[in-house]
A and B are shown apart, each in its own frame.
Chain A
């Protein structure tokens, strides 16, 4: 049974109120997880610095914050936001499409992630620790892997209706990309889908292709999620936190 909607006249103030409400529904983890992941990267870089790591190594660790840790944090948080909704039955009875409600909620998370990444990149740039591409292209370090991993996470959450399955799947995928990095970079067909190209390989040949492929496939996966959410009743019967 598909969910149908009809236009509800909302004033600008009402729309703002809706966004504020969804920000509260998203929970404090949505605002805290992205900056916490980036702070984790800074902590690791400090640890490496104390351990005698070179400047290049520290720079790569700092770059791994937005490219590796931020997507993981966003994907994990997104799964919880999709799977945990105490009043989903009520949401389905409202004229607003559930996909729009969920989209606004995930939008809050995306905004928090983007703001955190921009502030982090600017901070690294100003302090002279930015080792990534040109500052104008810096969003390409974090946006493509974040879009891709978050889209996979939401797709898994919608298909499995299980936080455990979706978060374990994302954790396994992220870990396999880390430990099988050499193998993934070594094959022509897996290289464009490697998530951590900037921090593990660099911004040389194939970097832009990798970023574009990740973005496009991520958007395709997001489109699949939007299609699945046309039947939001399939999300009922969740059991975990």
Chain B
């Protein structure tokens, strides 16, 4: 456990010092906040509840921030291999699986940190704007249930997929997937939008806001993944996103172990 924490802490400190991470998140959040349009959380009526407002902000940031999140993590393991540090790290008295898990947890925590801070800033703005200090607490909660599971899901794929298809190709497919699997309406074509496996956080946001956030539960492809939005389906969505985010790590660890044994 202490080894996992050590690797995670090292990865966190390394990633959190990356200037491009902070700049990217700041620029993307500023642009989407400024151009959110009349349907955005800033324009919700004055009597809107705190969970509704902050779920709206989490969903708004969730449209673009995971893109930057995926771009940052896409080069993490590839770079280790290119610079030759992967072999050096494998020679350490730490199990490779533990090393990968530490990188995942540390990378996820560091890359999600700017997202959390941006949610706190949005919560602070709403606390002043709507004279409700509880907005700050709901901002943190909305980050934890709406955004974090989706980020954990993205992190698993962003860390491992570039090992197989290269970072540039992953970035192209990731952007295409993000649009197809989160924002494309289910009546247009078969899509994962509106299912429990939507990393934008449609189900948890619908649960917090008490209404339909985007397309959660809208009839469409894979109907068994489209239950009615509510507390139970939101928790199921969170659990599924976290579990599915771990799958690529398990596959990558198995493949890399076999390669090491074969070498």
Determine whether A111 belongs to the interface, using a CB cutoff of 8 Å to chain B.
no
Determine whether B203 belongs to the interface, using a CB cutoff of 8 Å to chain A.
no
**Contact between B67 and A163, CB atoms less than 8 A apart:** no
Enumerate chain B residues within 8 angstroms of A73, measured Cβ to Cβ: 172
Enumerate chain B residues within 8 angstroms of A61, measured Cβ to Cβ: 189
**Contact between A80 and B183, CB atoms less than 8 A apart:** no
Determine whether B79 belongs to the interface, using a CB cutoff of 8 Å to chain A.
yes
Q: How far is the CA of A37 from the CA of B169 in the complex (A)?
A: 9
**Contact between B20 and A160, CB atoms less than 8 A apart:** yes
Contact A168 B68, CB 8 Å, known A76-B168, A80-B167: yes
**Contact between B23 and A165, CB atoms less than 8 A apart:** yes
Q: How far is the CA of A36 from the CA of B166 in the complex (A)?
A: 13
Enumerate chain A residues within 8 angstroms of B27, measured Cβ to Cβ: 165, 168-169
Task: State which of B41-49, B70-78, B100-108, B229-237 sits at the interface with chain A.
Answer: B70-78
Mask, B127-167, CB within 8 Å of A = 1, is: 00000000000000000000000000000000000100011
Determine whether A94 belongs to the interface, using a CB cutoff of 8 Å to chain B.
no
Q: How far is the CA of A163 from the CA of B167 in the complex (A)?
A: 10
Q: Which listed residue (B31, B67, B79, B176) contacts A241, Cβ 8 A?
A: B79
Tell me the dominant secondary structure on chain A's binding face: helix
**Contact between B20 and A164, CB atoms less than 8 A apart:** yes
Enumerate chain A residues within 8 angstroms of B173, measured Cβ to Cβ: 36, 40
Enumerate chain A residues within 8 angstroms of B171, measured Cβ to Cβ: 76, 167, 171
Q: How far is the CA of A174 from the CA of B82 in the complex (A)?
A: 29
Enumerate chain A residues within 8 angstroms of B72, measured Cβ to Cβ: 164, 168
**Contact between B23 and A171, CB atoms less than 8 A apart:** no
Determine whether B180 belongs to the interface, using a CB cutoff of 8 Å to chain A.
yes
Determine whether A210 belongs to the interface, using a CB cutoff of 8 Å to chain B.
no
Interface size of A by Cβ–Cβ distance < 8 Å?
43
Determine whether A155 belongs to the interface, using a CB cutoff of 8 Å to chain B.
no
Q: How far is the CA of A75 from the CA of B71 in the complex (A)?
A: 14
Enumerate chain A residues within 8 angstroms of B174, measured Cβ to Cβ: 171
Determine whether A113 belongs to the interface, using a CB cutoff of 8 Å to chain B.
no
Q: How far is the CA of A57 from the CA of B190 in the complex (A)?
A: 12
B→A interface (CB under 8 Å): 18-21, 23-24, 27-28, 31-32, 35, 37, 63-64, 67-68, 71-72, 74-75, 78-79, 82, 162, 166-169, 171-176, 178-180, 183, 188-190, 221
A→B interface (CB under 8 Å): 27-29, 32-33, 36-37, 40, 44, 47-48, 50-51, 53, 57, 61, 69, 72-73, 76-77, 79-80, 160, 162-165, 167-169, 171-172, 174-176, 178-180, 183, 239-241
* 16 A–B contacts, CB within 8 A, in A order: A28-B166, A47-B190, A48-B190, A72-B175, A76-B168, A77-B172, A164-B71, A164-B75, A168-B68, A171-B64, A171-B71, A172-B32, A172-B67, A174-B175, A175-B64, A241-B162
